[in-house]
Amino acid sequence: MDWPDTDHGVFAISVAAQLCGLHPQTLRVYEREGLVDPDRSAGGTRLYSGRDVEKLRQIAALTDTGINIAGIKRVFELQDEVRRLKAQIQRMDTRIKKQTP
């Protein structure tokens, strides 16, 4: 799903939970465990972004396959590492192309 601004928190916890098919308490658990970090309004209300909703959907899909929270954290760490390595390869490839006539 395309979101206008994927990083800006706009969804209250009840809406984000409904979009993910999860209970609001589950979202609080995931926040407490460090899996998501929603924005906060001036009054302290959680505001979930489109990116948060997509991540929550990914978490739900992983838990549906039997992966626990520790496993999900590891999956996210590995995904971040893959992204970092791909970016590094891209930078190196660009340098090599500049040096090769």
Work out the mean pLDDT of the chain and round it to a whole number.
93
Give 60 or 1, the one with higher predicted confidence. Answer: 60
Output the domain CATH number for residue 52.
1.10.1660.10
pLDDT in tens, 12-50: 999 999 999 999 999 999 999 999 999 999 999 999 999
Q: Which neighbouring-strand residues pair with 40? A: 46
Quote the number of domains for the chain. Answer: 1
C-alpha closest to that of 5 among 59, 60, 77, 53:
53
Q: pLDDT band at 100, cuts 50/70/90?
A: confident
2 inside domain: no
Tokens coding 24: 């609001």
**Cα three-residue angle 24-16-25, rounded to 5 degrees:** 10
pTM: 0.82
C-alpha closest to that of 70 among 61, 59, 80, 81:
59
Which residue range(s) make up the domain with 66?
13-99
